[in-house]
C-alpha cells in the first residue's frame, strides 16, 4: 500500500484565510474500508483507479466525494483495491462552499481525471513550500471551486446573462422551461435561485457602466433591468455598501 501524507497545524492567522488544509495524502492498492468513522474536519477524496463504495453508493473512476465534519461515513475499495488522493480541510469558507453547493453529498463522477489529479499535485507541492499553510489554503480553494461545479457554462446561465435586463419569464419562455425547472437548474449550477443570480448580474453590469461611462444613474438603472431608479439605488447600496454615485466617484479616474 504505497503512499504519502503530510499533516499541518495552522496558526490563528491561517484560519483567517477562511480555509485551512489540515492534511493530505495518497495511496493505492488493497486499502482497508473505513467503517462508520466521524471526522472533526471535512475531507475530500479523489479516486483515480479501481472501484468501491461510499456510504452505499458505487464509486467508479474518476470520481470525487466530500466527507463532512460530524457526519458518519463508510467508504473503501472492492477486493481489487483502488488509487485515492485525499485532503483534510476546515474553516468558515467550508460552510460557505457547502451552502453554495460546492461540497455535494453524493459521489460525483468526473469527466477529466488528469485535471483533477493535477489539482491534487498542486496541493502536494504547496505542502512542500516554506509556507505550506498559506500555499495549501490557496490550492484547496482552487481544488474545491474547480471540481465542485461543471467546467462548462450551462446554456441556461448563458441565456440569463444575455437577458439579464429582461424579466425571468422571458428567458424561461425562450428556453421552453417552466419556472420550477428554471429554478432547479440555476440553483444546481450556482447555489442561488434565478432571481438572486440575475440581480447579481445586473449589479455587476451596473458597476461596469458606472466606472466606465458617463451615463446617469437613472439611465444605468433602466439599462440593467431596474425600471425604478430608487429601487436600483437601494439594491445597489444594500449589496455593495455604497451608493451608485459613491461607487462611481471611487472607481473613475480623472
Q: What is the pLDDT of residues 192-247, one digit of tens each?
A: 899 999 999 999 999 999 999 999 999 999 999 999 999 999 999 999 999 999 99
Stretch 90-112: mean pLDDT, rounded?
Answer: 90
Total count of domains within the chain:
2
Question: Is the distance from CB of 144 to CB of 155 less than 8 angstroms?
Answer: no
Domain boundary among 126, 148, 170: 148
Computed over every residue of the chain, the mean pLDDT equals 93
pLDDT at 2 over 70: no
pLDDT in tens, 28-44: 998 889 999 999 999 99
| Whether residue 245 sits in one domain with residue 132 | no
123 and 42 both lie in a single domain: yes
Same-domain check for residues 39 and 122: yes
Tell me the whole-structure pTM to 2 decimals.
Answer: 0.80
Q: Which of 123-127, 159-163, 186-190 has the lowest mean pLDDT?
A: 186-190
CATH assignment of the domain containing 120: 2.60.120.280
Whether 70 contacts 23, CB under 8 Å? no
The answer to whether residues 31 and 1 touch, using CB atoms and an 8 Å cutoff, is yes
Q: Is there a single domain that holds both residue 121 and residue 212?
A: no
pLDDT of residue 1: 47
- Residue listed under C-alpha cell 442561488: 192
Among 148, 179, 209, residue at a domain's last position: 148
Residue 177 belongs to domain spanning: 155-251
Domain final position from 123, 148, 173: 148
Amino acid at each position: 500500500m504505497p503512499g504519502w501524507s503530510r499533516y499541518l497545524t495552522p496558526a490563528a492567522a491561517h484560519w483567517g484565510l477562511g480555509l485551512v488544509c489540515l492534511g493530505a495524502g495518497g495511496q493505492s492498492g488493497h486499502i482497508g474500508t473505513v467503517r462508520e468513522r466521524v471526522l472533526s474536519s471535512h475531507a475530500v477524496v479523489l479516486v483515480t483507479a479501481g472501484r468501491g463504495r461510499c456510504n452505499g453508493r458505487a464509486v467508479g473512476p474518476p470520481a470525487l466525494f466530500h466527507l463532512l465534519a460530524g457526519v458518519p461515513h463508510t467508504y473503501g475499495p472492492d477486493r481489487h483495491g483502488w488509487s485515492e488522493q485525499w485532503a483534510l480541510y476546515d474553516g468558515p469558507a467550508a460552510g460557505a462552499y457547502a451552502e453554495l453547493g460546492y461540497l455535494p453529498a453524493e459521489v460525483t463522477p468526473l469527466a477529466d481525471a488528469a485535471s483533477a489529479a493535477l489539482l491534487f499535485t498542486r496541493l502536494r507541492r504547496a505542502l512542500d513550500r516554506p509556507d505550506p499553510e498559506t500555499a495549501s489554503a490557496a490550492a484547496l480553494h482552487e481544488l474545491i471551486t474547480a471540481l465542485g461545479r461543471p467546467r462548462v457554462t450551462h446554456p441556461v446561465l448563458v441565456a440569463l446573462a444575455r437577458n439579464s435586463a429582461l424579466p425571468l419569464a422571458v428567458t424561461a419562455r425562450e428556453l421552453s422551461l417552466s419556472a420550477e425547472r428554471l429554478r432547479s437548474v440555476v440553483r444546481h449550477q450556482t447555489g442561488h435561485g434565478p432571481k438572486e443570480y440575475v440581480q447579481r448580474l445586473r449589479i455587476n453590469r451596473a458597476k461596469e457602466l458606472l466606472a466606465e461611462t458617463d451615463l446617469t444613474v437613472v439611465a444605468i438603472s433602466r439599462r440593467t433591468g431596474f425600471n425604478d431608479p430608487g429601487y436600483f439605488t437601494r439594491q445597489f447600496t444594500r449589496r455593495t455598501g455604497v451608493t451608485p454615485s459613491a461607487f462611481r466617484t471611487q472607481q473613475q479616474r480623472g
